[in-house]
Structure 1
Amino acid sequence: MARSERLLTLLQVLRRYQRPVSGASLAQELGISIRTLYRDIATLQAQGAAIDGEAGVGYVMRPGFMLPPLMFSQTELEALVLGFRWVGKYADTALTEAATDALAKIGAVLPSELREALETNTLLVGPRTVPEQESVDLTFLRSVMRSQHKLRIAYRDANDVASQRVIWPFALGYFQTTRILAGWCETRQDFRHFRTERILTAEQLDQRYPRSRTALLRSWREARADLFTPDKVKA
């Protein structure tokens, strides 16, 4: 392993630890001697890496330190570009703009040879089928999910039957032809999936739902994730 690659790997390893980790553990994980590790730590600290600690005590990287863009390999850049292009085509306006801005930020700080690889990337995303116009703002739905509040919706199903539901929204799926909101439905006492173009109105309630979003997602994956497809939506 080249030394530059080893230094970047060491930074990535340190990011995984919330508490000080011994030099011996780091050296073992990287497959290097303890003396080499101490030299690498000193080099990174001299270059501005926010690493606290010392030999015999342990090391930890302070929160907020950003890894340099040189960490990206050609394949990683291709994955990033393809992902950003998919988001740019299939996500809602806010996420599309965010993806474009994020890719521009990455390109601005890359060295010239990697910037050229980014700009000349030829991995493309196929054409999108425009879904039916949505009445609800997906940025709002994502905000409700993050805050873990209950959501009251007016919904029109595939048979054009309208209903009022109180749900605990925890996931939003983006597909080529539609988007689907997953949530626990208080009316059905079960997980349900709602096509966003059929949500007529949505109102955030004051109450937060009693289970964490992570716990709901875990239970949903165990019970109903196989139905999270546009042609199997059950509301």
Structure 2
Amino acid sequence: MSRAGRLITLIDILRRHRFPVSAEALAEETGVSVRTLYRDIETLRGQGADIAGEAGLGYILRPGFTLPPLMFGDDEIEAVALGLRWVTARGDGELARAAEQALARIEAVLPTRLAERMQQQNLLIGPASQAPESIDTADLRAAMRAEVKLDIAYRDAGGSVSRRIVWPFALGFFETTRILIAWCELRGAIRHFRTDRIDGLLRLDQRYPTRRALLMAEWRRQQIGKRGERPADTQSKAADRN
């Protein structure tokens, strides 16, 4: 592994840990001596990485440091390009524009060879029939970021419409539809709502009492018992039961 590649690997390892990691453990995972590991830490600090700690205590990377995209490998560039093109094709208006802009910015700072690799578009996004929606899912994403409640008009599989006060915390993107995952005050539980069945929504600007990360953790815990079904099947069925 080149030294540049080793530094990237070291940053990735530090990002995975929330608590200090010993120099010995870092050296073993990167395949170098502890002495070399110390030099790599100092090199990264010199490049702006806010790495706290010292020999004998362990090291931790504080948030905020990023390596330039020119450090990406070929497979990483293709993965980034494919993901951004998928969002451009499947995201709502604002999200699609953001993905397109991000792709252009990355291409602008890449070395010529990698920029040409991104522009080749040899990994393609297939067509999909998206269910029509009467709302803008950008409003759902904004409510999730702000952790505020929504008042929605939801139409179930039988066509009946009910009003729900929900705490939105995740949005699932599938080939034919999108699904809002939220705590429903009416049901007193986490529920899945197909966005093409949300006939209207009102942002209440009332923060819900539970952090979004905790709601997400609870939802993931519930999914453990449903691993026998594919996630798309499980969530579609759950949305039909609303």
TM bin, normalised by shorter chain, reads 0.7 to 0.9
Q: Which residue, 210, 221, 228 being the options, matches 2:235?
A: 228
- Aligned in 2, Cα 1:182/1:40: closer, same or farther, shift over 3 Å? closer
Indicate if the aligned counterparts of 2:70 and 2:109 stay in contact, CA closer than 8 A. no
Asked if structure 1 preserves the Cα contact closer than 8 Å seen for 2:50 and 2:62, the reply is yes
In structure 1, what is the equivalent of residue 5 of structure 2? 5
What pairs up with 1:41-52 in 2 under 5 angstroms?
A: 41-51=41-51
Q: Mark the CA change 1:38 to 1:144 in structure 2 (over 3 Å): closer, same or farther.
A: same
Match of 1:162 in 2: 161
For the 8 Å contact 1:154–1:164, the answer to whether it is kept is yes
- Which moves more between the two structures, 150-159 or 50-59? 50-59
TM-score (norm 1): 0.84
Deviating above 6 A after TM superposition, structure 1's stretches of 4 or more consecutive aligned residues are: none
Q: Is the 8 A contact 1:23 1:59 kept in 2?
A: yes
Q: Is the 8 A contact 1:180 1:230 kept in 2?
A: no
1:210–1:105 distance in 2 versus 1, CA, 3 Å: same
Aligned to 2:184: 185
Could you tell me which residue of structure 2 aligns to residue 68 of structure 1? 68
Letter paired with 2:103:
L
- Structure 2: runs of 5+ lacking an equivalent: none
Does the alignment pair 1:203 with 2:202? Answer: yes
Of residues 118-127 and 55-64 in structure 1, the stretch that sits farther from structure 2 once superposed is 55-64
Deviation for aligned residue 1:99: 0.8
- Structure 1 gaps, min length 5: none
Q: What is the CA distance between 1:228 and its match in structure 2? A: 0.8
Q: CA RMSD in A?
A: 2.7
Deviation of 1:194 after TM superposition, in Å, equals 1.8
Q: How far apart are 1:92 and its partner, in Å?
A: 0.6
CA contact (8 A) 1:151 1:202 kept: yes
Aligned equivalent of 1:39: 39
Query: Partners of 1:126 and 1:191 in 2: how far apart?
Result: 32
1:48: how far off?
A: 4.8
Aligned residue type for 1:187: L
Letter in 2 for 1:179: R
Q: Aligned in 2, Cα 1:47/1:192: closer, same or farther, shift over 3 Å?
A: closer
Is the contact between residue 135 and residue 197 of structure 1 (CA under 8 Å) also seen in structure 2? yes
Is the alpha carbon distance of 1:195 and 1:56 closer, same or farther for their aligned partners in structure 2, counting shifts above 3 Å?
closer
* TM-score under structure 2 length normalisation: 0.82
Structure 2 partner of 1:105 = 105
The answer on whether the counterparts of 1:154 and 1:199 sit within 8 Å (CA) in structure 2 is yes
Cα distance in 1, alignment partners of residues 71 and 237 from structure 2 = 37
| Equivalences, count | 234
Match for 2:171: what amino acid?
L
Specify the alignment match of 1:144 in structure 2: 143
From the superposition, tell whether residues 159 and 14 of structure 1 become closer, same or farther in structure 2 (CA, over 3 Å). Answer: closer
Q: Deviations over 1:141-190 (max 9, x none)?
A: 11212222222111223333221111222221122222121222222233
